[in-house]
Amino acid sequence: MIQKEILIIGGGPSALVAASGCRMYYPHKSVSIIKKEKDSMVPCGIPYVFGKLLHSVEDDMIPCGNMAAKMGTELIYDEALKIDTEAKTVTCKSGEVYGYQKLIIATGSIPKIPTQIANHNAKGVYQVPKSPAYIRKMHDELENKQKIIIVGTGFIGIELADELKSVGKDVILIGSKLLKNSFDEEISAYMEKIIKNNGIEFLKGERTKTILTKDGVACGVELQSGKTIEADAIVLATGYVANVDVAKNSGIHIGEFGSIRVDEYMRTNIKDIFAIGDCAEKRDFITRRVTHLMLASTATAEARVASANLFNINLVKSFKGTIGIFSTVMNDQAFGSVGVTEKQAKEEGIEHISMVVEVAGKHPATLPNTQEQIIKLIATKKGGVVIGAQIVGGLDAGEMINILGAIIERNYTIFDLISFQVATHPLLTSAPTTYPIMQVAQKLVAEFYKFEK
């Protein structure tokens, strides 16, 4: 057995951020990472390997080897198979056994296999794992395919569709409403318009029943409606599940969605073992319900909390739940979402008010390349606490949703926002007289006082 001090299993963003934090907080402790593959990918960047932005899979690599070496972190290229929580050891595929003082499980997630679709594992059917070797092979094979069906309308599905279309592929997108868990109908409809204008065929509300094959190779799909569609390749972008194989049968508690159960300091039920990232259970910041949401922003926040409190509770700062914040780009239009949607608020029985405003992204609006900004804000009916926001606009919308995320995480109200101060400039932002966050807050305040009469 080889004894280690801080041992991390995994090689994704949460593992790297945890390692960095551990090196900062405990410079006298050794930090070791066990990871299956030498290379890692930026998970959110995977769709862009298939378009014009990245020329190869190598362009999307996380330089974890160089970065870890500079931090003084040891990299062990092996696969962790088993955790013995009593002996405090991790057994690897190579047969090597490592002891630990503190263990952080950051094994991420793997594609969810839609077993309800017949022939889902046929040749010519692809998933979207976070494996450079797989993505490299998929990239090379799709280069020779023209008509591609993508099953799934989450952010990986729509971004992949957008990128494949940008290199001249014929793309058909099959699934329910676009990003249904992040956007309400008015924003989703705007997104559908962009998809259609970009030449992507979207079969909204359809479900895939069977992968059609010819000589064992996928050649199309049959939908539950009975319609059949021919294609040269099928991509299943049907979501992800927590990768918890190493934690099974170890006494570590697994939650209702198959993720490792943790507390607000990312501690498992086993002393000295933490779990972070996609493999760890999540709770919604607003509803406090267990959620299946998996985002890199959440994973890295968890990593910072875990590393800061690994040996003792040094910072009384815990992770109180995912705010569900993310952004994406489609055809130079940015979309962002944070908190609950209005649909979710209704389902949870949260009495709320909402408002949508649309303003020019620069001032005056006649400036070249001015794009409209649409913001939807959702607040509690009593108290006016902001609980959700959605945005469409230019590329600056990606940072504006981060402002809105901070607003939600700090429990700001619409009354706080009407006196919010921001820097504005004609070429960079909308006008100070109509800045969208304050504009929508002011309209909500007016709406709020209607209820107070």
Q: Is the pLDDT of residue 63 over 80?
A: no
pLDDT in tens, 105-139: 999 999 999 999 999 999 999 999 999 899 999 99
pLDDT-derived band at 66 (thresholds 50, 70, 90) equals low
Q: What is the pLDDT of residue 103?
A: 98
Q: Does a structural domain hold residue 452?
A: no
Q: What is the pLDDT of residue 223?
A: 96
Residue 327 in domain = no
Distance CA 387, CA 384 (A): 9
Kindly state whether residue 353 falls inside one of the protein's structural domains.
yes
Do both 186 and 288 map to the same domain? no
Domain shared by 232 and 248, yes or no: no
- Give me the half-sphere count of Cα atoms (radius 13 Å) on the Cβ side of residue 162: 25
Model pLDDT, residue 70: 72
Question: Which of 219, 238, 257 is the last residue before a domain boundary?
Answer: 238
Claim to verify: residue 134 and residue 226 sit in the same structural domain = yes
In this predicted structure, the answer to whether residue 65 has a pLDDT above a threshold of 80 is no
Q: pLDDT, tens digit, for every residue of 282-297?
A: 999 999 999 988 998 8
DSSP conformational letter for 91: E
Look up residue 33 and give its amino acid: I
Residue 341, domain member (yes or no) = yes
Q: Which residues contact 21 (CB under 8 A, 6 or more apart)?
A: 303, 304, 306, 307, 308
Amino acid in position 224: Q
Q: What is the pLDDT of residue 433?
A: 87
Q: How far apart are CA 100 and CA 103, in angstroms?
A: 6
Question: What is the arithmetic mean of pLDDT over 232-249?
Answer: 95
Q: What is the pLDDT of residue 315?
A: 64
Residue 307 has pLDDT above 80, yes or no: yes
Looking at the 3D structure of the chain, how many domains does it have?
3
218 is a domain residue: yes
Characterize the bridge pairing of strands 40-41 and 61-62. Answer: antiparallel
pLDDT above 60 (res 441): yes
pLDDT at 453 over 60: no
In 3D space, the residue among 413, 408, 400, 414 whose CA is nearest the CA of residue 444 turns out to be 414
One domain for residues 404 and 363 = yes
Rounded CA Rg of the chain: 23
Domain that holds residue 183: 125-238
**320 part of a folded domain:** no
Instruction: Over range 234-260, report the average pLDDT.
Output: 95
Q: Work out the burial of residue 196: count CB atoms within 10 Å of its CB; fewer than 13 is exposed, 13-18 middle, 19 or more buried.
A: exposed
- pLDDT value of position 452: 62
Examine the domain organization and report whether 443 and 336 are in the same domain.
yes
Domain boundary among 238, 265, 299: 238
Identify the CATH number of the domain in which residue 248 sits: 3.50.50.60
pTM above 0.85, yes or no: yes
Residue 323 lies in a domain: no
Average pLDDT over residues 200-213: 96
Residues 105 and 246 in one domain: yes
Give the pLDDT band (50/70/90) at residue 234: very high
Place of tokens 């079969």: 203
Listed residues 199, 217, 238: the one ending a domain: 238
* Residue 315: inside a domain: no
pLDDT surpassing 60 at residue 249: yes
